[in-house]
Amino acid sequence: MTFDLRPWQLADFPAYQALITTPAIATAIGIDAKSTASQQQAFENDLYQTYQAAILINGTPQGSVVAYQRANELGEPLVNEADIAYFLAPAFWGHGIMTDVITAFITQLPLTSRFGLMF
């Protein structure tokens, strides 16, 4: 199955909202699927990350992948530590697509970010 990665855009909120209100995704990412404010906050958290992408399948957003700087319990950034978070529409689960998505996403990160030297 083929996919494209591109940055999330403000106009993508309806597609993002439809994805994160899917019960399986809402549960996995820990979002209140009934709260529009919670949905908007989740979208903005992804949208404004430096390294983020919508996963497009047949030109339609079907998931998200984001690299986050890790932080300590005080919210201070941890040097050399990052996490990658992602979700995909359940219709595409079990097809091996996320392995390819994560590989493509990581190769698009700046070299220093891939090796955790600077984020």
Q: Looking at the domain 4-114, which fold is it?
A: Aminopeptidase (3.40.630)
- Beta strands 77-88; 51-57: pairing state: unpaired
- pLDDT band at 113, cuts 50/70/90? low
Whole-angstrom Cα distance, residue 90 to residue 37?
Answer: 23
Which pLDDT score, from 0 to 100, does residue 109 have? 81
As given in the structure block, the two tokens for residue 84 are 């990658």
Question: What pLDDT, in 10s, does the model give residues 43-53?
Answer: 888 888 888 99
pTM: 0.84
- Does the pLDDT value for residue 115 go beyond 70? no
Which H helix or E strand runs over 46? helix 36-47
Of 4, 1, 108, nearest in space to 59 by CA: 4
Report percent pLDDT > 90 for the chain.
53
Evaluated on CA atoms 93, 96, 101, 102, the torsion sign reads positive
Packed helices 36-47 and 13-20: angle between N→C axes, nearest 10 degrees: 120
